[in-house]
Amino acid sequence: MAATSPTLSARYGGYRVNAPIKYAALQTQTLFISAGHSDKDPGAVGNGYTEAQIVLEFRDKLADYLRDKVFFGKDGQRGENLPLTVAANEAAAHDVAVEFHCNAFSSPTATGVETLSAGHHYPLGNALCAAISSTLGIANRGAKGEASGQHSRLAFINRGNGIIVELFFITNPSDLASYFENIDACVKAVGDELVSAVCVGLAA
Ligand SMILES: [Zn+2]
């Protein structure tokens, strides 16, 4: 039986809950997942929801999905969303770091998913956009550079070398309804892309 990587095992000791060896042995890159904004910063507000509330639930559901598949870190325990400084520093210490947000715009018809990152992360960004777009049935706005977003959390990109995923527009009632209807499928689609990105020999 293949041994679990001692480096990964030690690194993620606190998060290693039921990681099966058959997956962990294939993991070649470290992974960090983060909920945008924080317990003190609600982010954008739309249709009665705050961005922080939505992305925290998404991160926790994604953590549940990933827990028996790969080692990973995250920006807080269940129900806890640590501030940007912590998230950006953690992101910088990992090979692949992804932070989830919702987009917002003055027009309620603005729709779709996009990612913001440095250019070398565009392939994973585009894969995540395609997965989310098809799962939610919303537009695929694609992978973009760090200057494209309306967000101020760009330290996650510049200092953390991470990818910001704008899941959908919180200001669009249709985007929001589709998200709530398909959240579990969306978690699985994103999770499968991330597993594929940090492991060898797996296709999403
Ligand atoms: Zn945000």
Give exposure, 126-147, as e/b (b: 16+ Cβ within 10 Å): ebbbbbbbebbebbebbbbebe
pTM (predicted TM-score): 0.86
Domain count, the chain: 1
CA of 42 from ligand 1 middle (Å) equals 9
Q: Ligand 1: distance of its center to the CA of 15 in Å?
A: 25
Can you give the pLDDT at residue 158? Answer: 85
Domain assignment present for 33: yes
- Beta strands (DSSP E) in 25-146 are 31-35, 45-46, 49-50, 73-74, 96-103, 113-116, 140-144
User: What's the pLDDT score for residue 154?
Assistant: 76
Q: What's the token pair of residue 123?
A: 């392939």
pLDDT, position 155: 85
What are the residues whose beta carbon lies below 5 Å from ligand 1 (ion)? 36, 43, 101, 151
Would you say 161 and 91 are in contact if contact means Cβ atoms under 8 Å apart?
Answer: yes
Q: What is the pLDDT of residue 49?
A: 97
Residue 71 lies in a domain: yes
Task: Tell me how far the alpha carbon of residue 45 lies from the centroid of ligand 1, in angstroms.
Answer: 10
Dist. CA 136 → ligand 1 center (Å) = 19
Contact 116/149 with Cβ under 8 angstroms? yes
Residue 84 domain-assigned? Answer: yes
Evaluate whether residue 179 is within a structural domain: yes
User: What's the 19 CA to ligand 1 centre distance in angstroms?
Assistant: 30
pLDDT at 147: 73
Is 204 part of a structural domain of the chain? no
pLDDT beneath 70: ranges in the chain = 1-25, 148-153, 201-204
CA of 101 to the centre of ligand 1 (A): 4
29 is in which domain, residue-wise? 6-198
pLDDT for the residue numbered 151: 57
